[in-house]
Chain A
Amino acid sequence: MSRITSHPVLPIPEGRKEVGFSFDGRPATGFAGEPVASSLVALGVSRFSLHPKDGAPQGLFCANGQCSQCTVLVDGIPRKSCVTPLVEGMDVRTLEGLPVLPDMDAPLAQAERRAIHTDILVIGGGPSGLSAAYELGRMGFQVVVADDKEKLGGKLVLQTHKFFGSEEDCYAGVRGVDIAGKLEEKLQKLPNVTILRNAPVVAVFKDRKAGVYKDYSSYLLVEFTAMVVAAGAREKSILFPGNDLPGVYGAGAFQTLVNRDLVGASKKLLIVGSGNVGLIAAYHALQAGIQVAGIVEITGRVNGYKVHADKIRRMGVPIHLNTTILRAERGAAERGAAAGKGGARVARAVAAKVDDQFRPIPGTAVAYDVDTILIATGLASCDEFLRQARDYGILAVAAGDAEEIAEASSAMFGGKIAAFALAKMLGKRIEMDATWLPKRDVLKSRPGDCFSRSPVMPGPEWRPVFFCSEEIPCNPCTTVCPVSAISLRPIRGNIMDLPYFSGDKCIGCMSCVGICPGLAISLVRRVSEDAAEVVLPWEFQADFPVGAQMDLVGQDGTFLEKAALVAKKKAAKNKTWLLTFRTGLANATSIAGIRVQGPEATEGEKLAEAACVDADALVCRCERVTLGELVQFIRDNDVRDINQLKTLRVGMGACGGKTCSQLVGRAFRLAGVDPATVEQGSQRPLFMEVPMGEIVNEGLSSLGGKDAGRRGAP
C-alpha cells in the first residue's frame, strides 16, 4: 500500500523521523513512534500471523488494541502491533503458529506494586470522558483520566468531517479532530485532574482498584472512590464467509489507519452498512484518494442522516439498499491455495439483493474487485467495566457511547450530565444546568421527518439554497450567518428543525456554505438570461485550475451538467474550499454538489449465483470457530448458556469475547433456540493481556515517575 502524502483536511506532519527495522528479515523503514501495525500496512503487509489452529492468515482487525489479530513477533516476543510504537532496529516477524517463550532465565530483577489514589477514575478520554472529567475537576474532585491512546479525544481524532449539533453547545461545524484539541486544552488547565495517556484500564477489581496497563509496559493500580465509564464503543462484526480475511475490518479501524496514521490502507473498498459511520467512512476514503465501490445496506432505507447519504451519493458512491454481502474472496491466484499460503487478502466482495426476510435473491449477485471491506453495521457499548463495577457495588456512572450509542455531540453533554449525577451521589449539593438534559436528548435524536422544499428561482442577488430536508439536530448555518438571514422554521422548537432563508439580506459571504457539516448548502445568483453562478463546498484536493470543467450533480447525485470553475477560495477557519461555477440557469438551484469519483469505480461483475454458506463464517476470530460448528454444538448438547460455548473455546481467546459476543445469538437462532432464553456469558478481567514481567513492574527502577503524575502520586 502506501502513505498518504497529501490530504485536504489533515496536515501532513513534516520532519517525521524515518527509522529502519526489519520485517521477516528484510530491511524496511517506517516512522519512529508510529504503531508497528501502521508501518506494516504502509509496506503492503496484510498477513501478520498464521493462526496456530489452521494456519489461516490473520490481519489487522480493530487497530485499536482491543482484539489481538495484529499480533506479530517483535524482537522475539509476541506483541499487538497496533499499540507497539516502532523503534529503530526492531526485528519484526510474522508470528507462525504459537510463539516460543524466550529462554530469558535471569532471576527476577525486582517486583514492585505501584498504586495511586484518586476520588474519581474516568475510564476513557473521548468526548464524554473529557467532558465529565472537566466538570468533576471544576467541582474540586481529584480526577484521574485513563485513556488507551497517546492523543486524547477518542474517536474525535479520527474525524475529518465537521460536526452536527449547535455551535454554542458542541462545536457544530468544527471538525472532530479539532474538537478533541479544544476539550483537552480546557482540561489541562485544571491542576486536580491527572491524565494517564497510553493507559488502558485492563481490570476493575472488587477492592475498588483498577489495573492500568501504563504505556503498555507497566502495571499501575488506581484506587478510587467512584468511577465514570466513558470507554466508548466497539464495532460490531457480521457473519459471512470470508469475514476473517485480512482486509475485512471495521470502519473505525480504517479511520485509524487513514486519518490518524496517514496510511493508504486500500486502493478500493466496499462498505457494509449505511449508518453514519459507514457513510462517513466513504467520505474519509475519498479524501484519502481511495475509491469506494459502494455501500451495501441490508434494509430498505439509509440508516444514517439523509444529508450524509446524499453527500456521499453526490460524490459518486452508490448506496445499494436491500443488499447484503454474501462473501469475501481472496485473489484468484490465492483462491485455490491452501490456507496459510500466499498473501491472502480480500480481492473480491460479492453482494446480492435480499428479499423481505433478508435472504439473498438468486441471480442478483454482483462481485466487486476491492482489496478491503469495511464493516459499519453498528456499535456496541464498551460497558464491561460498568457491569463489573455494579457487580461489586462500586459507585459508577456511564457516559457517552458506553452509556448509549449516539453522536459525539451528545456524548459531550452525556459526560457533563454523568459528572453531575456522580457528584450528587458523592454528596455534592449542586444543581445541573436545567437545559442540559433536553439538549442532550435532542442531540442524540434519531432523524425525524423529511420535508420537500419548494423550488427556488435564482435572482440577481446571492441567496442560499438548502439541500437539507430531514430533521436532524444541527443548526450552525443559522448561527454563522453574519446578517441572521437563516433561521430554523419552528415545528419542533429545537435544533431538529430545518433551516430556511428568511429574507433578502444575503451578502454572499459563503459562511453557511463553508460551515454546513452536510455540505448541503449552495449559494446561487443569476448572472445572465440563461446563466447562473453557484457556490459549492469542496473538501478534497483542489489542485485544478480556475476554468476546469467539473461534473455537477443534484441532491441525490444525479448528473446535471458539466460546468466551468470560475473562482475558488478556501475558508481558512474550516479548511473547506468554496468553488464557484458558472452554470446554466435552469439547473442552478438544483445543483447540490460535485462528483468526486466516476461511475467506473463502482461497477461490479454480475454473477450467476447467489449461494451463501454462512456456516463457514467465523464467529470467534481468536479461536477460529465457525457458525456451523457452533450450531452443531448447541444442538448436540442442548446448550442454553453462552458460557458453555467455551467448550469450543468461543470467548476464551485473547480478546475476551469482544467480537463474538455480538454474534453468538445468530448461532442459537439457527439451532432453534430463542436467544432470549439463553444464559448470558460471564466476563472476567483482564480485558487486555499483560506480560507477567510487566505486572510486577520488573523493568521499572523506582516508584513515582512521569506516568503516575505529580498530583496523582500518593
Chain B
Amino acid sequence: MRTYDIVIAGAGSIGVPLAWQLGEKGFKVAVIDQEASWGRGQNRAAIGGLRATHSDAAKIKICLESIEIVSTLEERYGIDNEWYQGGYLYVAYTEEQRSAFLSLLKLQKEAGLDIDWIEPEAVEKLSPGIRREGLLGGTFSPRDGFASPLMTNTAFHKLAKDSGVDFFFNTRIDGVAMDGDKVASISAGGETWRAPLFVNAAGAEAADLASLAGVDLPIHPDCHEAGVTEPVERFMEPMLVDTRPDAESGNYYFYQANTGQVVFCITPRPQIWGRDKGSTSSFLPLCVRRMLELYPRLRNLRVRRTWRGMYPMTPDGLPIVGYPEKAKNFLQAVGMCGQGFMIGAGLGKILSETIASGGGYASPAGSTGYGFVFDELACTRGFDHVELLK
C-alpha cells in the first residue's frame, strides 16, 4: 500500500508539469506511467509549437500561462529548452480565411492575446521567400513561440523530482476501486495506491483509464505525422499555419526551431482514427509538396526524420478538465486534441492553484478566479461548440 496526497496517472505533457507545481506547493505526489520514462506517450511526438492563439477564452488563458512558464525556464531555473519566441502566423490566401481570422480578433484580444492582422509585406518580412501570389495577409501573434517538448518535459521532470515528487515508470494501472462516487484506490504494478485525489493525465490512454472508474469520456485518438529537417541558419521567424484544405489534407504548419531545423506537420483528410503510429509512405510527398507550394525555398532543405503521434480528440476540439459526477475525486485533465504540450504547463499551474485553494467537485476553482476555465472545459458540457483553430 502506498499513500499519497495526490496520485497522477500519466507522466506526460500534462502530468509532469502538474506534478512539479503540486510538489512545489508541498503536496506529496506520485506519478505513475506505463512507459519507461517521462514524456513517452504523445509528448515525444509533439512538434513544439506553443501558442495562445486560440478561439476561446479558456485555452487562451491556459496557454498564456504556459508561455510564461516555458519561456522562462532557462532564465529561472537555468534549464535550456530551446524556447524561441517567433510568433504564430496564420496566413490567408482566400477571402474566407481572411474573414474567419478577422472575426476572431476581438475575442482573442479581450482574452489578453497579443495578436493583429498584418499585411503581405509584413508577412514576407517575417518569412522571406514565402509565396506572394494571392497572399492577402495574416494574423500574427508575436508572443507565441516554440520549444523542445522533450527538453521541456525533461526540465519539468527534474524540477518535479527536486520538489519531492515520486515517479513510478513501467507501471501500468490495471484497476480502480470505487467507494461510492469516489475513487478509493488504484492498483498498479502489483501495488495499491491510496490518495484523497487522483488525476487522469493519461493522454491517449485517458478514456480507457476513466472507464475503469465508470466514467465515459468522448475521446478518440487520431494520428498525425510530422517531420524535421536538417538545421540551417535562421531564415524565418514564426510558425506558419496554412489552413487551406486540399483533396488529401487539411491544414499544415511548420516553423524553424531554435536549433535551425524546420519542424512540420499536416492534418490528413479524412482524419485517420486509431492508435497506429507507423510512418506512412504518403506523408512526405504530400506534406512536402504543400510546403514547397507555399515556401519554394525549402526545396534545398533536407528532411531528416519523420514520426507519427496521436491527437486525443474530443468532439468539439477542446480539452476536458474537471471532476466527473461518477468519480468526484478523480480530476480529469484529458482530451488535449494534440495540444498537450502547449496546454500542460499552464494547466498545471491553474490546477495546482485551484487544488491548493480547496478546489474539488463542488467548486473546482476553489477560491481562485479560474471558474470560467472549468465552466468551459467541464466533463459535462454539451460538446457542441467548435474550436476554430484546433
A543 surroundings in chain B (CB, below 8 A): none
* Complex contact A101–B306 (CB within 8 A): no
B-side interface mostly: mixed
Q: Specify which of A102, A207, A636, A689 is in contact with B280 (CB 8 Å cutoff).
A: A207
Which residues of A in the span 94-115 have a Cβ within 8 Å of any Cβ on B? Answer: 97-108, 111, 113
Q: Smallest distance from the beta carbon of B279 to chain A beta carbons, Å?
A: 5
Judge if A454 is at the interface, Cβ distance under 8 Å: no
List the A residue with the shortest CB-CB distance to B303: A690
Interface size range on A against B? 35 or more
* Complex contact B284–A695 (CB within 8 A): yes
A310 vs B80: C-alpha distance in the bound complex, in angstroms?
54
* Complex contact A108–B289 (CB within 8 A): yes
Judge if B178 is at the interface, Cβ distance under 8 Å: no
Q: Specify which of A113, A205, A686 is in contact with B304 (CB 8 Å cutoff).
A: A686
A380-401 near B? 1/0 per residue, CB < 8 Å: 0000000000011000000000
B278 surroundings in chain A (CB, below 8 A): 205-206, 391-392
Judge if B157 is at the interface, Cβ distance under 8 Å: yes
* Complex contact A647–B150 (CB within 8 A): yes
Among the 9-residue stretches A459-467, A611-619, A637-645, the one with 4 or more Cβ atoms under 8 Å from chain B is A637-645
Judge if A566 is at the interface, Cβ distance under 8 Å: no
A612-656 near B? 1/0 per residue, CB < 8 Å: 000000000000000000000000111111011011010000101
Q: Smallest distance from the beta carbon of A108 to chain B beta carbons, Å?
A: 4
Among the 9-residue stretches B96-104, B227-235, B313-321, the one with 4 or more Cβ atoms under 8 Å from chain A is B227-235
Q: Smallest distance from the beta carbon of A148 to chain B beta carbons, Å?
A: 16
Q: Specify which of B35, B44, B292 is in contact with A693 (CB 8 Å cutoff).
A: B292
B361 surroundings in chain A (CB, below 8 A): none
Judge if A203 is at the interface, Cβ distance under 8 Å: yes
Q: Specify which of B44, B298, B302 is in contact with A690 (CB 8 Å cutoff).
A: B302
Which residues of A in the span 536-555 have a Cβ within 8 Å of any Cβ on B? Answer: none
Knowing A108-B299, A685-B305 are in contact, say whether A205-B279 is a contact too (CB < 8 A).
yes
A563 surroundings in chain B (CB, below 8 A): none
A552-589 near B? 1/0 per residue, CB < 8 Å: 00000000000000000000000000000000000000
Knowing A98-B260, A684-B306 are in contact, say whether A696-B279 is a contact too (CB < 8 A).
no
* Complex contact B288–A101 (CB within 8 A): no
Q: Which of B40, B280, B301 lies at the interface centre, i.e. has the most chain A CB atoms within 10 A of its CB?
A: B301
Judge if B296 is at the interface, Cβ distance under 8 Å: yes
A-side interface mostly: loop
Q: Specify which of B148, B154, B230 is in contact with A644 (CB 8 Å cutoff).
A: B154
A186-203 near B? 1/0 per residue, CB < 8 Å: 000000000000000001
B385 surroundings in chain A (CB, below 8 A): none
Q: Which of A211, A684, A692 lies at the interface centre, i.e. has the most chain B CB atoms within 10 A of its CB?
A: A692
Knowing A692-B301, A692-B303, A695-B303 are in contact, say whether A100-B232 is a contact too (CB < 8 A).
yes
Knowing A108-B296, A641-B37 are in contact, say whether A654-B280 is a contact too (CB < 8 A).
no
* Complex contact A684–B279 (CB within 8 A): yes
A686 surroundings in chain B (CB, below 8 A): 303-306
Judge if B250 is at the interface, Cβ distance under 8 Å: no
Q: Which of A391, A656, A695 lies at the interface centre, i.e. has the most chain B CB atoms within 10 A of its CB?
A: A695
* Complex contact B297–A102 (CB within 8 A): yes
Q: Specify which of A78, A107, A684 is in contact with B296 (CB 8 Å cutoff).
A: A107
Knowing A52-B231, A686-B305 are in contact, say whether A637-B297 is a contact too (CB < 8 A).
no
List the B residue with the shortest CB-CB distance to A203: B279
* Complex contact A689–B302 (CB within 8 A): yes
Q: Specify which of A101, A205, A679 is in contact with B233 (CB 8 Å cutoff).
A: A101
Q: Smallest distance from the beta carbon of B164 to chain A beta carbons, Å?
A: 14
* Complex contact B297–A101 (CB within 8 A): yes
Which residues of A in the span 669-706 have a Cβ within 8 Å of any Cβ on B? Answer: 679, 684-686, 689-693, 695-696, 698
Which residues of A in the span 48-95 have a Cβ within 8 Å of any Cβ on B? Answer: 52, 77-78
Knowing A98-B232, A207-B281, A654-B304 are in contact, say whether A106-B296 is a contact too (CB < 8 A).
yes
* Complex contact A693–B284 (CB within 8 A): no
A105 surroundings in chain B (CB, below 8 A): 129, 296-297
* Complex contact A111–B281 (CB within 8 A): no
* Complex contact A692–B154 (CB within 8 A): no
Q: Specify which of B40, B129, B169 is in contact with A643 (CB 8 Å cutoff).
A: B40
List the B residue with the shortest CB-CB distance to A80: B302
Q: Which of B157, B158, B231, B285 lies at the interface centre, i.e. has the most chain A CB atoms within 10 A of its CB?
A: B285
* Complex contact B37–A103 (CB within 8 A): no
List the A residue with the shortest CB-CB distance to B81: A647
Q: Specify which of A78, A205, A637, A640 is in contact with B36 (CB 8 Å cutoff).
A: A640
Q: Smallest distance from the beta carbon of A222 to chain B beta carbons, Å?
A: 10
Interface size range on B against A? 35 or more
A203-215 near B? 1/0 per residue, CB < 8 Å: 1011101010000
Which residues of B in the span 168-197 have a Cβ within 8 Å of any Cβ on A? Answer: 169
Q: Smallest distance from the beta carbon of B288 to chain A beta carbons, Å?
A: 5
B297 surroundings in chain A (CB, below 8 A): 101-105
A52 surroundings in chain B (CB, below 8 A): 231, 260
B23-59 near A? 1/0 per residue, CB < 8 Å: 0000000000001111010001000000000000000
* Complex contact B300–A691 (CB within 8 A): yes
Knowing A102-B297, A644-B154 are in contact, say whether A654-B285 is a contact too (CB < 8 A).
no
* Complex contact A78–B302 (CB within 8 A): yes
Which residues of B in the span 105-161 have a Cβ within 8 Å of any Cβ on A? Answer: 128-129, 131, 133, 148, 150-151, 154, 157-158, 161
A358 vs B157: C-alpha distance in the bound complex, in angstroms?
37
* Complex contact A691–B154 (CB within 8 A): no
Judge if A219 is at the interface, Cβ distance under 8 Å: yes
Q: Smallest distance from the beta carbon of B310 to chain A beta carbons, Å?
A: 15
A636 vs B154: C-alpha distance in the bound complex, in angstroms?
11
A679 vs B37: C-alpha distance in the bound complex, in angstroms?
9
A698 vs B297: C-alpha distance in the bound complex, in angstroms?
13
A101 vs B291: C-alpha distance in the bound complex, in angstroms?
15
* Complex contact A692–B298 (CB within 8 A): yes
* Complex contact B296–A685 (CB within 8 A): no
A649 vs B280: C-alpha distance in the bound complex, in angstroms?
25
A693 surroundings in chain B (CB, below 8 A): 292, 298-300
B167 surroundings in chain A (CB, below 8 A): 638
A691 vs B296: C-alpha distance in the bound complex, in angstroms?
12
Q: Specify which of A104, A207, A637, A641 is in contact with B300 (CB 8 Å cutoff).
A: A104
* Complex contact A98–B231 (CB within 8 A): yes
A637 surroundings in chain B (CB, below 8 A): 154, 157-158, 161
B280 surroundings in chain A (CB, below 8 A): 205-207
A219 vs B281: C-alpha distance in the bound complex, in angstroms?
11
List the A residue with the shortest CB-CB distance to B278: A206
Knowing A105-B297, A108-B293, A690-B303 are in contact, say whether A640-B37 is a contact too (CB < 8 A).
yes
* Complex contact A647–B299 (CB within 8 A): no
A98 vs B148: C-alpha distance in the bound complex, in angstroms?
19
Q: Which of B154, B157, B280, B302 lies at the interface centre, i.e. has the most chain A CB atoms within 10 A of its CB?
A: B302
List the A residue with the shortest CB-CB distance to B162: A636
List the A residue with the shortest CB-CB distance to B161: A638
Q: Smallest distance from the beta carbon of B141 to chain A beta carbons, Å?
A: 25
Judge if B4 is at the interface, Cβ distance under 8 Å: no
Knowing A77-B300, A98-B231, A102-B300 are in contact, say whether A206-B276 is a contact too (CB < 8 A).
yes
Which 9 residue pairs of A and B lie closest in terms of their CB atoms, listed nearest first? A206-B278, A693-B299, A679-B36, A641-B37, A689-B302, A209-B281, A205-B281, A111-B289, A641-B36
Besides A113-B285, A686-B305, A695-B285, 11 more A-B contacts (Cβ < 8 Å) are A77-B300, A219-B284, A640-B36, A641-B35, A641-B169, A646-B150, A656-B305, A689-B230, A691-B301, A693-B292, A698-B299
Q: List 9 A-B contacts (CB under 8 A).
A: A52-B231, A100-B233, A641-B35, A685-B305, A686-B306, A690-B303, A692-B303, A693-B298, A693-B299
Interface residues of A (CB under 8 A from B): 52, 77-78, 97-108, 111, 113, 203, 205-207, 209, 211, 219, 221, 391-392, 636-641, 643-644, 646-647, 649, 654, 656, 679, 684-686, 689-693, 695-696, 698
Interface residues of B (CB under 8 A from A): 35-38, 40, 44, 128-129, 131, 133, 148, 150-151, 154, 157-158, 161, 167, 169, 229-233, 235, 259-260, 276, 278-282, 284-285, 288-289, 291-293, 296-307
